[in-house]
Chains A and B, each alone.
Chain A
């Protein structure tokens, strides 16, 4: 049994019409890239990594009012093995960092990562000894969503940006972009200098320098210098 017996129109049959009328072919030509990306971007299964109030907004996004399933995020995958998008919603303490990294390492390729909210993206107000200053030091992040916490519209917009990113990917370059070095499993995502730069001081950390290696006060500086 071939395609022509299944599809209405029966191939190039002269008697029964195809979708473009009698005698027309019942197949379309397209690019493999387009088909693959179309499939991928409309069936993203998120791995929710909710640690704080952002997770409440994430739950609201998945509930009936905002209905994340409209965009193909039909099922929150609580197992990283079946997930495509890691949504890190909330602050991540250093004690949780290896867990986040392991969840990311367990997700199969291709995978994407959303950093939701100020804390996940930069440490937020938690510029302290126990908090990861942006999860981009732990895992590679595709989309950062600002807000404290972001509204569900923000999360949905972030997921649509992931979809837009997938739309522009090509199979030939995809794995080149996303190839992972197995020797870097459970290692910081970026080098020491980048970590220091990403977690530079702000707010009330006026007594310490960028590397936070002690109580260094710059000559002649007062706390007023650092006020906006």
Chain B
């Protein structure tokens, strides 16, 4: 739009994401002293070359940007070290800021031992959307990483079963939460309808998925013939 009209809530839709070049990206938040957060201070000391920046949001949410190459090493240290012991991975998600800026993979962690919270972010350039999987550290990351892969196209190296989780398995239009993805998809509605109806519903699941919850328990074998007719175990 050339002339600026005020009052239309749809202006931003026409203009798309606000442009800014990646070098001068403002990350918001407040500069903070690392000494406020024990884990941030320890990270800065131990992985000085891997910590990119540190900000505080919403009063007390400490966010540390780290080098994606070292993410697995840092996360496994944060989980294992008794001074930090982040035993709960609350969320693994991602943010695409658009206009060619890097996609951020976000790890939200909580330590139930120290009652401490920490958010880590890894910036991945659009031409190299790859990061180490952390399923070997937190099993919960399995589906969360599948979701990020499905919606953002980030590949998690070493993930045991990296396939789509929300969109259909044969979805061919891309990764919907990326900023370059058109709101109504890439195919026409007719093609989308045709493809949807051609889906094989059974293919959404693997044999193991369908048998989940029905894993036979190890039961001690009952010795046949030791009890008389009508007698129950435990009766004297």
* Nearest CB in chain A to that of B192: its residue: A94
Q: Is the CB of B197 within 8 A of A138?
A: yes
Stretch from A111-119, A159-167, A168-176, A212-220 that touches the partner: A212-220
Answer yes or no: A137 CB below 8 A from chain B CBs.
yes
Q: How large is the interface on A (under 10, 10 to 19, 20 to 34, 35 or more residues)?
A: 35 or more
B10, A227: Cβ atoms under 8 Å? yes
B residues 172-226 touching A (CB-CB < 8 Å): 173, 176, 181-199, 201, 204
Is A192 in contact with B188, judged by CB distance below 8 angstroms? yes
**Chain B: interface residue total (CB-CB under 8 A):** 32
Q: Which of A172-228 contact B (CB under 8 A)?
A: 186-188, 191-193, 195-196, 198-199, 201, 204-208, 211-215, 217, 222-224, 226-227
- 6 further A-B contacts with Cβ under 8 Å, apart from A97-B196, A205-B184, A223-B14, are A98-B197, A102-B201, A127-B183, A138-B193, A211-B190, A212-B185
In the complex, residue of chain A having the shortest beta-carbon distance to the beta carbon of B176:
A129
Which residues does chain A contribute within 8 Å of B197, judged by CB atoms? Answer: 97-98, 101, 138, 186-188
- The distance from the CB of B131 to the nearest CB of chain A, in whole angstroms, is 25
Most chain-B Cβ atoms within 10 A of its Cβ — which of A206, A214, A215, A222? A222
The yes or no answer to B11 lying at the interface (CB within 8 A) is yes
B25 sits at the interface (CB 8 A): no
A212 with B10: CB separation less than 8 A: no
Assess whether B201 is in contact with A98, with CB atoms less than 8 Å apart: yes
Are B187 and A213 closer than 8 Å at their CB atoms? yes
Given contacts A98-B196, A129-B176, A224-B8, contact A204 B13 (CB under 8 A): yes
Give, as a whole number of angstroms, the nearest-CB distance from B154 to chain A. 19
Could you tell me the distance between the alpha carbons of A90 and B13 in the complex, rounded to whole angstroms?
27
Q: Which residue of the partner chain, among A99, A186, A212, contacts B184 with CB atoms under 8 Å?
A: A212
Chain A 97-128 interface 0/1 with B at a Cβ cutoff of 8 Å (1 = within): 11101100000000000000000000000011
Query: Is A207 within 8 A of B13, CB to CB?
Result: yes
* In the bound complex, CA of A139 to CA of B5 (Å): 44
Q: Are A129 and B185 in contact (CB under 8 A)?
A: yes
B102 on the interface (CB 8 Å rule)?
Answer: no
A130 touches B (CB below 8 Å): yes
CB of B128 within 8 Å of the partner chain: no
* B167 lies within 8 A of chain A by Cβ: yes
Contact for A199 among B1, B168, B189, CB less than 8 A: B189
Residue numbers in A under 8 Å from B1 (CB-CB): 222-223
* Complex Cα–Cα for A101 and B200 (A): 12
Q: In the bound complex, how far is the Cα of B192 from the Cα of A127, in angstroms?
A: 13
| Contact across chains for B184 and A223 when beta carbons are under 8 A apart | no
Q: Which 4 A-B pairs have the closest CB atoms?
A: A129-B185, A192-B190, A212-B184, A223-B10
Could you tell me the distance in whole angstroms from the C-beta of A208 to the nearest C-beta in chain B?
A: 6
* The residue from A193, A195, A204, A208 contacting B193, defined by CB atoms under 8 A apart: A195
Q: How far is the CA of A99 from the CA of B200 in the complex (A)?
A: 10
Interface presence of A145 (CB below 8 A): no
A37 within 8 A of B: no
What are 9 A-B contacts with C-beta separation under 8 Å? A94-B196, A128-B185, A188-B194, A195-B189, A212-B182, A212-B185, A213-B186, A215-B182, A224-B5
Question: Does A70 belong to the interface (CB within 8 Å)?
Answer: no
List residues of chain B with CB within 8 A of the CB of A188: 190, 193-194, 197
B122 vs chain A, min Cβ distance (A): 27
Closest chain B CB from A111 CB (angstroms): 18
Contact A212 B188 (CB under 8 A): yes
Option from B168, B181, B190, B204 in Cβ contact (under 8 Å) with A94 = B168
Closest chain A residue, CB of each to CB of B14:
A223
| Known interface pairs A129-B176, A222-B14, A223-B11; A205-B183 also in contact (CB < 8 Å) | yes
Please name all residues of chain B whose beta carbon is closer than 8 Å to the beta carbon of A31 when the two chains form the complex.
Answer: none
Measured between beta carbons, the chain A residues less than 8 angstroms from B168 are 94-95
**Least distance between A186 CB and chain B CB atoms (Å):** 5
Instruction: State whether B167 touches A95 (Cβ < 8 A).
Output: yes
Task: Evaluate contact between B185 and A132: CB separation under 8 angstroms.
Answer: no
Residues of A within 8 A of B14 (CB): 206-207, 217, 222-223
A133 at the A/B interface (Cβ < 8 Å)? Answer: yes
A186 and B198 contacting across the interface, CB-CB below 8 Å: yes
From B13, B167, B190, B199, give the contact of A130 (CB < 8 A). B167
Beyond A186-B197, A195-B189, A222-B1, whether A201 also contacts B184 by CB under 8 A is yes
